[in-house]
């Protein structure tokens, strides 16, 4: 059964090709069936293949499809490679992806029906529905190639493919220029990381002579320490760009311009975790370099710290979730940095469950409120929108890692406790992580309390049917029980996490501090504890605005890169490089004018010139000239 592996990426690709070729001429129902069905079938195949793989007991399974190209000694093959890591990733991508696709069949249907929708014209609506699923299927295909490729070249192909789909889907409502700007920003910022990653790949190829992951890792021992550090840092650059970590995180909040299922699938569950996958995949390189591994941990810590404070000051529900995504991925990076590889992947999986749940539930809320995303304009929704509310509640519980009852607890706990025991300064990482976890509890409570309790401000219209609340229910269940799933299966697959016991004081603190955050949050945001004076003080206001702007990263980048670039472009409007080409053209034109003088159109003049030429040839032949 394992040889069905190629079907997993092939099915979404087929779905994409069908939807792409028919250009929205298919009935909407069939579009939904093809779009979600192709991913669903892929999930089914993944399940079958995964079980078979698990039973076979082999460490890995490779399926060679064809040789991409053969140039000299360089012959990268397109080979699908299945091991524990890629199996977990494939399961998340196809499984969570399928649920999100099913949700999207309902969400996009209603969304494109909205009078306020920018694609309201019937034809555009139909076309938009089909286009959406075509892009989504293409994304799933690219993401699967990313995780299943046994070659860094295939991985890079998928890497750029998901970047492209991200760009296309952020700018899905392309009639609004702001969305196009957000899409461009995401594309350009991740491009910075991708360039670093490409450089890392070049360096790796030059040093080791292969891009095949397994043989590259086997030969990695030949690298000297400096080179391993350089490659590790360059690959980290790529991961940072894709996973929206500091300092390349600024694109993710703007990426929320896309439809909410896109945010759930691409910008929470799968694509943004590609960086985590990359580093986990290349852990052999990082094992060689203390510096690179430390850098991973520091990046993760900085991101989770910065973004959890930023989330506290946001008012847009999707932006809050975007910043929380950044901080959760920060945990994963920190886990990678402290050597808790399997904990990172564990958290990746549970995060995919609960963050997809949170995004989809918030999507239901947004849809019911006719595209109102400001939590301060919501309120009192918990009675009116029970399914989204309970989904959000479960997702939030997992996000703040409520002890023992949510999946997020197990994975986050594993990360923090491993960090605590890691080396001399491990407790610093632990401290930062726990502080950020407390902040996470605070802003999540704020979001829940403000949006779902208090007085009703907008009357919601919930039109969701089973294709929308069904995925929510499944994801809720996964968010609760996914932790046991992880303990049971993941340890088996990826190796148990070795961390300090739960009876340790630090472990108890890790458990209790988020609860404190929730307590404070409930008191503060339900108005029972008045801190208005503190917030409105000049320092508080400045801090709030600083956090709201995402620690002013956008401002800094705008002044450091965008403005100087625009200035340079304006100064160089005439393009100094073009001058050379224009000069070439001018010289050519000059010769043309000279040559045109001989074209008199007079036949006898031509004949005379031919005669002169004949004479000259004679003289040359006779060696008189």
Partner 1 sequence: MAIAVPIEYVLGVAMLLFLLGLLGVLVRRNVMFLLMSLEVMMNAAGLAFIAAGARWGVPDGQIMFMFILALAAAEVAVALGLVLQISRRFGTLDIDAANELSG
Partner 2 sequence: MNADLLLFWIPAAVAVVSTFLVVTRKNASHALVYLVVSLLSVAVIFFVLGAPFAAALEVVIYAGAIVVLFLFVVMMLNLGRSSVLRESRWLQPGMWIGPGILVVVLFLSMVYVLAGSVHETKGVMVGPDAVGRSLFGPYLLAVELAGFLLLAALVGAYHLGRRYLEERRETPAGSGDD
Which residues form the interface with partner 2 (CB under 8 A)? Answer: 608, 611-612, 614-615, 618-619, 622
Query: How many angstroms separate the Cα of 124 from the Cα of each of 23, 128, 173?
Result: 11, 6, 11
The option from partner 2, partner 1, none interacting with 542 (CB < 5 to 8 A, set by class) reads: none
Give counts: helices (H), strands (E), the chain: 28, 2
Considering the complex, what minimum distance in angstroms separates the CB of residue 188 from partner 1?
49
Which is nearest to 358 in space by CA: 399, 328, 329, 409?
399
64 or 609: CB nearest partner 2: 609
Q: Is 617 in the site for partner 1 (CB under 8 A)?
A: no
Q: Is 590 in the site for partner 1 (CB under 8 A)?
A: no
Residue whose structure tokens are 């009078």: 115
Q: Is 597 in the site for partner 1 (CB under 8 A)?
A: yes
Q: What does the alpha-carbon distance between residue 529 and residue 425 come to, in Å, rounded to a whole number?
A: 37
218 or 608: CB nearest partner 2: 608
3-state class (DSSP) for residue 82:
strand
**Interface with partner 1 by CB under 8 A: which range of 46-54, 238-246, 501-509, 601-609?**
601-609
The option from partner 2, partner 1, none interacting with 595 (CB < 5 to 8 A, set by class) reads: partner 1
The option from partner 1, partner 2, none interacting with 600 (CB < 5 to 8 A, set by class) reads: partner 1
**Interface with partner 1 by CB under 8 A: which range of 305-313, 321-329, 332-340, 590-598?**
590-598
Considering the complex, what minimum distance in angstroms separates the CB of residue 595 from partner 2?
23
323's tokens: 């910043």
556 or 616: CB nearest partner 2: 616
**Cα 486–490–494 angle (5° rounding)?**
150
430's tokens: 């632990």
596 or 622: CB nearest partner 2: 622
Q: Is 599 in the site for partner 1 (CB under 8 A)?
A: yes
Let me know: does 160 contact 154? Beta carbons within 8 Å. no
Considering the complex, what minimum distance in angstroms separates the CB of residue 595 from partner 1?
7
533 or 603: CB nearest partner 1: 603
3-state class (DSSP) for residue 575:
coil
The option from partner 2, partner 1, none interacting with 615 (CB < 5 to 8 A, set by class) reads: partner 2
Let me know: does 301 contact 246? Beta carbons within 8 Å. no
The option from partner 1, partner 2, none interacting with 598 (CB < 5 to 8 A, set by class) reads: partner 1
Q: Is 572 in the site for partner 1 (CB under 8 A)?
A: no
538 or 598: CB nearest partner 1: 598
The option from partner 1, partner 2, none interacting with 72 (CB < 5 to 8 A, set by class) reads: none
Q: What does the alpha-carbon distance between residue 374 and residue 157 come to, in Å, rounded to a whole number?
A: 37
DSSP secondary structure letter of residue 301: H
**Beta-carbon neighbour count of residue 549 at 10 Å?**
14
The option from partner 2, partner 1, none interacting with 603 (CB < 5 to 8 A, set by class) reads: partner 1
Sign (positive/negative) of CA torsion 66, 69, 74, 78? negative
Compute, in degrees rounded to 10, the torsion defined by CA atoms 322, 323, 328, 334: 130
67 or 611: CB nearest partner 2: 611
Task: Rule CB under 8 A: choose which of 71, 539, 568, 603 binds partner 1.
Answer: 603
Q: Is 601 in the site for partner 1 (CB under 8 A)?
A: yes
Query: How many angstroms separate the Cα of 605 from the Cα of each of 96, 591, 593, 612, 613?
Result: 81, 20, 18, 11, 12
64 or 611: CB nearest partner 2: 611
DSSP secondary structure letter of residue 282: T
The option from partner 2, partner 1, none interacting with 622 (CB < 5 to 8 A, set by class) reads: partner 2
56 or 611: CB nearest partner 1: 611
DSSP secondary structure letter of residue 173: S
The option from partner 1, partner 2, none interacting with 574 (CB < 5 to 8 A, set by class) reads: none
3-state class (DSSP) for residue 61:
strand
Considering the complex, what minimum distance in angstroms separates the CB of residue 604 from partner 1?
6
First to last CA, the chain: 83
Q: Is 608 in the site for partner 1 (CB under 8 A)?
A: yes
The option from partner 1, partner 2, none interacting with 69 (CB < 5 to 8 A, set by class) reads: none
Let me know: does 76 contact 68? Beta carbons within 8 Å. yes
606 Cβ contact list (under 8 Å, min separation 6): none
Q: Is 588 in the site for partner 1 (CB under 8 A)?
A: no
DSSP letters for 149-216: BSBHHHHHHHHHHHHHHHHHHHTSSTTSHHHHHHHHHHHHHHHHHHHHHHHHHHHHHHHHS--BHHHH
Considering the complex, what minimum distance in angstroms separates the CB of residue 596 from partner 1?
3
Q: Is 620 in the site for partner 1 (CB under 8 A)?
A: no
Per-residue buried b or exposed e for 62-75, using 16+ beta carbons within 10 Å of the residue's own CB: bbeeeebeeeeeee
**Interface with partner 1 by CB under 8 A: which range of 22-30, 260-268, 544-552, 606-614?**
606-614
Let me know: does 332 contact 273? Beta carbons within 8 Å. yes
Residues near partner 1, by CB under 8 A: 595-604, 607-608, 611
């Amino acid at each position: 059964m394992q040889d069905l592996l190629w079907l997993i990426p092939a099915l979404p690709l087929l779905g994409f090709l069908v939807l792409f070729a028919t250009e929205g001429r298919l009935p909407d129902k069939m579009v939904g069936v093809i779009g979600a069905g192709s991913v669903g079938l892929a999930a089914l195949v993944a399940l079958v293949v995964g079980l078979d793989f698990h039973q076979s007991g082999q460490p890995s399974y490779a399926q060679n499809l064809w040789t991409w190209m053969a140039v000299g000694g360089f012959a990268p093959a397109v080979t699908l490679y299945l091991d524990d890591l890629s199996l977990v990733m494939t399961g998340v991508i196809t499984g969570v992806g399928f649920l999100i696709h099913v949700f999207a069949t309902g969400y996009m249907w209603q969304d494109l029906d909205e009078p306020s929708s920018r694609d309201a014209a019937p034809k555009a609506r139909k076309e938009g529905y089909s286009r959406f699923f075509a892009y989504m299927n293409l994304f799933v295909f690219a993401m699967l190639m990313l995780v299943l490729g046994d070659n860094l070249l295939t991985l890079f192909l998928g890497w750029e493919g998901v970047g492209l789909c991200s760009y296309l889907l952020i700018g899905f409502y392309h009639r609004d220029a702001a969305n196009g700007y957000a899409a461009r920003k995401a594309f350009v910022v991740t491009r910075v990381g991708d360039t670093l990653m490409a450089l890392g790949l070049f360096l790796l190829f030059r040093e080791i002579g292969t891009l095949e992951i397994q043989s590259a890792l086997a030969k990695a021992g030949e690298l000297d320490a400096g080179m391993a550090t350089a490659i590790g840092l360059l690959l980290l650059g790529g991961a940072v760009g894709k996973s929206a970590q500091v300092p390349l995180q600024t694109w993710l909040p703007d990426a929320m311009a896309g439809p909410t299922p896109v945010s759930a699938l691409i910008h929470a569950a799968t694509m943004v975790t590609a960086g985590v996958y990359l580093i986990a995949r290349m852990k052999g390189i990082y094992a060689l370099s203390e510096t690179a591994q430390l850098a991973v941990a520091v990046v993760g810590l900085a991101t989770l710290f910065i973004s959890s404070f930023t989330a506290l000051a946001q008012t847009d529900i999707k932006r809050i979730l975007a910043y929380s995504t950044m901080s959760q991925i920060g945990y994963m990076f920190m886990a990678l940095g402290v050597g808790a590889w399997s904990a990172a992947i564990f958290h990746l999986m549970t995060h995919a469950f609960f963050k997809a749940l949170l995004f989809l539930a918030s999507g239901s809320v947004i849809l019911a409120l006719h595209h109102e995303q400001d939590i301060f304009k919501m309120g009192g929704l918990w009675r009116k929108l029970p399914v989204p509310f309970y989904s959000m509640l479960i997702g939030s519980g997992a996000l703040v890692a409520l002890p023992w009852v949510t999946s997020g607890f197990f994975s986050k706990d594993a990360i923090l406790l491993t960090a605590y025991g890691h080396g001399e300064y491990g407790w610093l990482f632990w401290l930062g992580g726990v502080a950020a976890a407390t902040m996470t509890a605070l802003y999540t409570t704020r979001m829940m309390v403000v949006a779902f309790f208090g007085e009703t401000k907008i009357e919601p219209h919930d039109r969701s049917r089973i294709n929308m609340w069904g995925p929510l229910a499944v994801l809720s269940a996964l968010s609760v029980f996914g932790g046991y799933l992880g303990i049971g299966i993941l340890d088996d697959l990826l190796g148990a996490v070795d961390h300090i016991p739960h009876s340790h004081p630090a472990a108890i603190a890790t458990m209790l501090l988020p609860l404190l955050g929730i307590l404070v949050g409930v008191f503060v945001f339900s108005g029972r504890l008045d801190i208005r004076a503190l917030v409105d003080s000049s320092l508080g206001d400045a801090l709030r605005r600083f956090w709201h702007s995402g620690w002013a990263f956008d401002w800094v980048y705008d002044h450091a890169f965008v403005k100087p670039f625009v200035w340079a472009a304006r100064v160089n409007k005439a393009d100094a490089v073009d001058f050379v080409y224009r000069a070439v053209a001018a010289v050519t034109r000059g010769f043309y004018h000279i040559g045109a003088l001989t074209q008199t159109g007079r036949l006898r003049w031509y004949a005379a010139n031919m005669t002169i030429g004949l004479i000259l040839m004679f003289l040359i032949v006779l060696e008189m000239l």
